[in-house]
Structure 1
Amino acid sequence: MLNNAEILSHIANRQKNFSLSRELYCDPGVLQADLENIWYKEWLFAVPACELPKTGNYATLQVGAYPILVIRGGDGKVRAFHNVCRHRGQRLCSKPNGSAAKLVCPYHQWTYELDGKLLYARDMGDDFEPSKFGLKAVHCVDISGMIFICLAQVPPAIGDMAKQLMTYLAPSGLTDAKVAYSSTIVENGNWKLVFENNRECYHCGGSHPSLCRTYSDNPAMTAMEGPDSASPDILDHWKRCEAAGLPSRFVNHPKMEWRLARIPLLNNAESYTLSTKAAVSKRMGQMPFNDAGSLLFFHYPNTWNHFLADHAIVFRILPISPTETQVTTNWLVHKDAVEGVDYDIETLTRVWLNTNDEDRLVVEENQKGILSPAYEPGPYSMIQEEGVVQFVDWYCDKMTERLSPAPAMAAE
């Protein structure tokens, strides 16, 4: 296992615009450092808020060593807690999702209110103070129907992203959506390989025949130098969408930690379907027309998303081990859309179920190759893989910043 100094050495010695060293993709010590310095400190996408439509609806997720519970309270607010009883540490909820009037520990029945307050603990004595044993809270924000959590004691600022995300997502009406279908798979690859694969479409033509019916693999579609630098056809699409009230131009974090942009689909396609037509007859929110393209949103380290006129697809990744990553995909539709009338699951999900499985295969084969002692970092294409370079640079900068020893104080 690499220690922090060795990890810093690997990062410092990497060649610019080349892939990372073998150890950074497979070493257990690196994963632990990733967890401690990125996953336990950054904002993470947890669930779409519409997955928890009613009081007591909950979802669970595992972030490294931390089991997390996200639940909607009686006041309508979504909160997150460490999914650990304050008595002897039993997990409160073991299912991926469910509903509860109260949170009752299955071990000794300690009972908590949905806001985390301890309500009942049998035979604990007269000097026991329930107010000191509420559930431990996790930072949690609902940004236009997307729930983000942060395990850090002091979370990083999220206001700029939240402001832009609220503006761009408003027409999609995620607060009036529902989960039509959910898929969770495990990719046998390092989490960084999973995210790298998402940040380029260099591989799309050879790997994603279903997706390429509607999604362009032209890197110019998503590699803009500024809000007005797009090709004329993209600028025309933006102007048409903006005239209809759809924010569209590229906005991003200075270091590309997140980005929003609306892109047209190929040949006036309406949705990610094999027919290229809308999968859902009832449009999302206030979307004005079917061929609005896809609003793309990613946020390091764990989410990328597509918001279309007829539905939305939200993705979440979570590391399991140095060479395993959980990928969860939710398809969202208008809450009043009726399955079998307004949409069918096969049409809605086929393209991205195919794409996810195809991505799983390329990531797993990528990981197998990297595990070979013969592997050495190779050059990225600055034409096709700029998004990968941005992600890898962000990762290396974050790890360098957080692993580097603090400078010694000068003696007075």
Structure 2
Amino acid sequence: MNEFDLLNITSNSYQESCEQMRNELEKRPENQSLAQPLYNDPNMFRADLEQVFYKEWIFVGMTSEVPTKGDYFTVEIGQNPVLIVRDGDGGIQAFHNVCRHRGSTICTKHRGKVANLVCPYHQWTYDLKGNLLYAGTEMGDSFETSQHGLKKAHCKTAGGFIFISLAKEAPDDFDAYLATLEEYMEPYDMENTKVAVESNIVEQANWKLVIENNRECYHCAGSHPELLNTLLEWDDTNDPRATPEFLEQYERQAAEWDAEGIPHQHQDFDGLRNRIVRMPLKEGVEVMTLDGQQGCSKLLGRIKNRQLGSMRILHLPNSWNHMQSDHCIVFRVLPISAQKTLVTTKWLVHKDAVEGVDYDPERLRLVWDATNDQDRILAEQNQQGINSLGYQPGPYSETYEFGVINFINWYSETVRKNMK
């Protein structure tokens, strides 16, 4: 089955799979991986789209990607093309990228700049707030343009991050996290950044395996030599593996952060679904480059201390991020099919930084290009094993894989809640 061959799934088989899915999630042992169909069955993949990606808040991009009026980018959530655009008042709008005439895609490029949104099929024209301006005289005198504006998606921004929800009524438990995200991102002034480089990797693995792999560093020592040049493996100061030396380093650097007014206290929301924590990198390390030294000569925002560590930001179901003194790295995960996932990585620098003068894109991306490819191989090998007749759910380590346990618990609870 290819990415969008969901129409071949009959209604009856889908409903039966949903019932099986609900039963599997209700009976699963809490600290074990999921049953095989939850990782490879097309019906259950469709349920993941409908119950998670079509109903929850999804990270799609950064406000600095649409810096001025008419700037836009597009993204696909399952079979739903979505358009993100900066309107004339400086606000960020999210629309279904679907013409109200006969449903054609309006913006066909990944990103661009427009005065108005014009459907290439029959030139129906919308303003940047989605109002229909022109449909031609062919529609007749009784046609009401006011009734045919673009359909909106819920959209919220905080600290430079853009989140959308395709639900009829978006979840209402998001604002406390957004307020904290805004506070913690203030030093970076993300509106005045730009994407220096972007990568897109298609992994032949279920999206949940991609997230599971990210939520633990149990595998790091054996798989990520480039990353471990700079990254400390533990998740926060409460990590049971954290050493006294690390805790002393944290206290010393935290005092420097406090002096500069840089937030760093661990924050989590909704059972760790949304999480922010600032962690030191290895002693003497500035940022996550191969040698640990600066990636860009221009610091971000009001930052003065290059040893700012990495502010790690988690948003389930589809994003993790590393905010550093001179560049930020944001990750977005979008499911394509039951065993195919798009992972997008963006490196952001100060908007005035000049490529080849202030930063070298290859230097910026080297560590995470290597890490992403290593993780792709791990996820794909994981998927191959799960597809085997020999697979059965296995136990997670409560010490090393507590982040995976947290993700799977959140996923299970969310699916069951949204199926009601």
Residue 117 of structure 2 aligns with which residue? 103
Q: CA deviation at 1:3?
A: 2.0
2:82 match: secondary structure: strand
Question: For the residues of structure 1 that align with 2:389 and 2:354, how far apart are their CA atoms?
Answer: 53
1:60-79 to 2 correspondence within 5 Å? 60-79=74-93
Decide which moves more: 238-247 or 257-266: 238-247
1:261 aligned to 2:277?
yes
Q: How does 1:8-407 map to 2 (within 5 A)?
A: 8-122=22-136, 123-157=138-172, 158-219=174-235, 223=239, 231-404=247-420
Read off the aligned partner of 1:180 and give its amino acid letter: A
Q: Which residue of the partner structure matches residue 409 of structure 1?
A: none
Name segments (4+ residues, structure 1) moved above 3 Å: 218-225
1:410 aligns with none
Question: Contact between 2:287 and 2:307, CA under 8 Å: does it hold in 1?
Answer: yes
Question: Where does residue 408 of structure 1 map in the other structure?
Answer: none
1:66 counterpart letter in structure 2: N
Q: C-alpha distance in 1, partners of 2:235/2:96?
A: 41
Instruction: Label 1:25 to 1:165 Cα distance change in 2 as closer, same or farther (>3 A).
Output: same
Q: Do 1:219 and 1:383's aligned partners in 2 also have CA atoms closer than 8 Å?
A: no
Deviation sequence 1:250-293 (CA, Å, 0-9, x none): 10014111100000001221011111101101001111211110
SS of equivalent to 1:209: coil
Rounded Cα–Cα distance in structure 2 between residues aligned with 1:401 and 1:83: 28
**8 Å contact 2:201–2:343 — kept in the other structure?**
yes
Secondary structure at the residue paired with 1:137?
coil
Q: Deviations over 1:319-375 (max 9, x none)?
A: 100001111111100111111111111111111111111111111111111011110
Distance in 1 separating the partners of 2:271 and 2:234:
23
Partners of 1:208 and 1:92 in 2: CA distance = 42
TM-score, structure 1 as length reference: 0.94
Give the AA of the match of 1:203: H
Mapped partners of 1:35, 1:376: distance in 2: 24
One-letter code aligned to 1:33 = A
Equivalent AA in structure 2 for residue 382 of structure 1: E
Deviation, 1:13, is 2.1
Further displaced range: 50-59 or 318-327: 50-59
* Residue type at the aligned position of 1:129: E
Does the 8 Å CA contact 2:158/2:178 hold for their aligned counterparts? yes
Unpaired runs of 5+ in structure 2? 1-12
The CA deviation at 1:165 is 0.2
1:55-84 residue CA offsets vs partner (Å, 9 max, x unmatched): 111111111121100011121111000000
**C-alpha distance in 1 between matches for 2:263 and 2:413:** 31
Partner in structure 1 of residue 5 of structure 2? none
SS state at 1:267 partner: coil
Give CA deviations for 1:150-169 in whole Å, capped at 9, x if unaligned.
11111112110011101100
* Secondary structure of 1:316's aligned partner: strand
Percent of pairs with identical residues: 46
Q: Which amino acid aligns with 1:361?
A: I
Q: Do the aligned partners of 1:224 and 1:250 also contact (CA within 8 Å) in 2?
A: no
Shift of 1:100: 1.4
Structure 1: distance between partners of 2:238 and 2:386:
28
What letter corresponds to residue 166 of structure 1 in structure 2?
A: E
User: Shift of residue 52 of structure 1?
Assistant: 0.8
- Classify 1:154/1:170 alpha carbon distance in 2 versus 1 (closer, same or farther; 3 Å): same
Q: What is the rounded CA distance, in whole Å, between the counterparts of 1:168 and 1:224 in structure 2?
A: 25
Distance 1:220 1:162, change over 3 A: closer
- TM-score w.r.t. length of structure 2: 0.92
Aligned-pair distance for 1:221?
Answer: 5.1
Q: What is the alpha-carbon distance in structure 2 between the residues aligned to residue 92 and residue 369 of structure 1?
A: 41
Provide the rounded CA distance (Å) in 2 between the counterparts of 1:183 and 1:208: 18
Alpha-carbon separation, structure 2, partners of 1:70 and 1:394: 28
Distance 2:311 2:189 in 1: 13
Aligned equivalents of 2:82, 2:147: Cα separation in 1: 20
* 258-267 or 148-157, larger mean C-alpha shift: 148-157
Contact 1:238 1:262 survives alignment (8 Å)? no
Question: Is there any run of 5+ residues in structure 1 with no aligned partner, and where?
Answer: 405-412
Report the count of equivalent residues. 400
Residues 224, 172 of structure 1: CA spacing in aligned structure 2 closer, same or farther, 3 A cutoff?
A: farther
For residues 281 and 302 of structure 1, the distance between their equivalents in structure 2, rounded to whole angstroms, comes to: 30
Contact 2:98 2:150 in 1 (8 A): yes
RMSD: 1.5
